[in-house]
Amino acid sequence: MSVPQQDARRPRAAVVYNPIKIDEDAVRQAVLIAEREHGWAETLWLETSVDDPGQGPARHAVEQGVDVVLAAGGDGTVRAVAEGLRGSGTPLTLLPAGTGNLLARNLDLTLNDVAGAVRTAFTGSDRAIDVGVVDIVDAEGAATSHVFVVMLGVGLDAKMIAATNPELKKKVGWLAYVEAVARIFKDVNAVRVTYSLDGASSRSTTVSTLLIGNCGILPGNVPILPDAKVDDGLIDIVAMRPKNVLGWVRIGTTVIWENGVLRKSRFGRRLIAADKRVRPLRYFQGRRADLRFRGPEEFEIDGEEMGMITRLGVRVDPAALIVRVPQTADVHSVKPDAEAEAEAKRLEAEEAGRVAARDEPVV
């Protein structure tokens, strides 16, 4: 669809939408009001499909020269549109729908506000964020590449996604994940993984869950990767390896108390670093990670089940995606006190080195 001649000099939006996830009439009405109010040309509407969940429509919108693309749908739609817009310079606006809305949560955007999200597309400020890129080898040996904007998971996390009842998820939202974990918990085996971070020597360890993130907040505002920032040029990794039920209790304490409270202050991070017990959570940061698994393992990206894999390589693509946020939003990451951050990082690096030394070197 070409731009009408009379609209050639006016800005234009595109909406890439999943008709199953949104109230299409409400979205169309909000967009129509906004484009008339701000003097924009007629919006380009592009529907997703099972065969193309958003990458193709997003690229088509860029080819048409639009000024902003609204992703109207769930996390799968957002991830697909982000993949299509990666490196294009065309801003993405989130019109979140569905259960997770993970990128919107991590950007501290208001949920369930169609008019507000549409208004942001026409009047907001632009923020550059990182994108994660993962190359995988599946159980049949086929290699593919994918983009993620929030996080990917292997182990219990991925098995939970695969086991979640979609009808229950519609009714109770992210609490359906809790039901899935309770149902499969006893049948989940530990994951044996060989890993290398930023080209360092390979080591092997055993984990229950492995999460690699561009962002750190899960549904329910759970800070699973407390140091993750969407624009720091790094990926963050957490390996969970509890030995028993008590270990899972400690993980819960760490996530809620340590990540949510203690890590926000210099004193709190000193307390964490001073704890010499073997911790059930281990954190890493870097620009690239390469992992091999002993056998096929369940895999998920941004809350979407992706099947079984045997290998993955993940890297960060810095500032590769432009996201349009409200003008009142802080368009940069909140940086902690530099001195406190440096000291905390040093203490944590020392602890990580002691723990990593207990992993098996690969020769």
285-308, pLDDT tens digit by residue?
999 999 999 999 999 999 888 999
Q: Where in the chain is the domain with CATH 2.60.200.40?
A: 131-318+338-361
For residue 89, give the nearest of 110, 67, 70 by alpha carbon.
67
Mean pLDDT of 28-45: 97
Answer with the residue of higher pLDDT: 223 or 68: 68
362 close to 194: Cβ distance less than 8 angstroms: yes
Range 131-318+338-361: architecture per CATH: Sandwich (2.60)
Percentage of the residues of the chain whose pLDDT score is greater than 90: 56
Mean pLDDT of 7-25: 90
Res 22: pLDDT:
93
Res 335: pLDDT:
45
> CATH number for the 5-123 domain, one of 3.40.50.2300, 3.30.428.10, 3.40.800.20, 3.40.50.10330?
3.40.50.10330
Strand partners, 210: 154, 239
Please provide the average confidence, as pLDDT, over all residues in the chain: 82
Residue 274: pLDDT band (50, 70, 90) is low
183 close to 243: Cβ distance less than 8 angstroms: no
Q: Where in the chain is the domain with CATH 3.40.50.10330?
A: 5-123
For residue 76, give the nearest of 126, 20, 134 by alpha carbon.
20
Mean pLDDT of 335-361: 55
Residue 88 CA neighbour count, 13 Å, CB half: 23
Task: State pTM to two decimals.
Answer: 0.81
Q: 72-104 pLDDT, tens per residue?
A: 999 999 999 999 999 999 999 999 887 778 899
Select, from the ranges 258-262, 270-274, 305-309, the one with the highest average predicted confidence (pLDDT): 305-309
Res 293: pLDDT:
96
Structure tokens at 258: 């340590």
154 close to 309: Cβ distance less than 8 angstroms: yes
Res 214: pLDDT:
95
Res 222: pLDDT:
79
Q: Answer yes or no: is pLDDT of 55 > 90.
A: yes
> Rounded distance, CA 358 to CA 101, Å?
37
Please tell me the least confidently modeled range out of 61-75, 77-91, 233-247, 301-315.
Answer: 233-247
Q: 158-204 pLDDT, tens per residue?
A: 877 766 666 655 655 555 555 555 555 555 568 899 999 999 999 99
Strand partners, 147: 133
Res 37: pLDDT:
96
Question: Locate tokens 């919006």: which residue?
Answer: 43
Q: Answer yes or no: is pLDDT of 246 > 90.
A: no
Which residues, in sequence order, are CB contacts of 62 under 8 Å at separation 6+?
69, 84, 85, 88, 90
Residue 243: pLDDT band (50, 70, 90) is low
Helices (H), the chain: 24-38, 55-63, 75-85, 102-106, 114-123, 156-163, 166-172, 175-184, 245-253, 266-274, 338-356
Mean pLDDT of 213-236: 88
Structure tokens at 208: 């229950």
User: Amino acid identity, residue 275?
Assistant: D
Res 186: pLDDT:
57
Res 322: pLDDT:
97
> Rounded distance, CA 12 to CA 64, Å?
9
Q: Answer yes or no: is pLDDT of 257 > 80.
A: no
Residue 348: pLDDT band (50, 70, 90) is low
Q: Answer yes or no: is pLDDT of 42 > 50.
A: yes
Residues in the chain: 363
Mean pLDDT of 334-343: 49
Structure tokens at 283: 């954190």
DSSP state of 206: E
143 close to 137: Cβ distance less than 8 angstroms: yes
Res 159: pLDDT:
73
Question: Locate tokens 């624009």: which residue?
Answer: 231
Percentage of the residues of the chain whose pLDDT score is greater than 70: 70
Answer with the residue of higher pLDDT: 198 or 8: 198
> Rounded distance, CA 183 to CA 187, Å?
9
Q: Answer yes or no: is pLDDT of 263 > 80.
A: no
Answer with the residue of higher pLDDT: 181 or 315: 315
Query: For the chain, how long is the longest CA-to-CA vector?
Result: 69
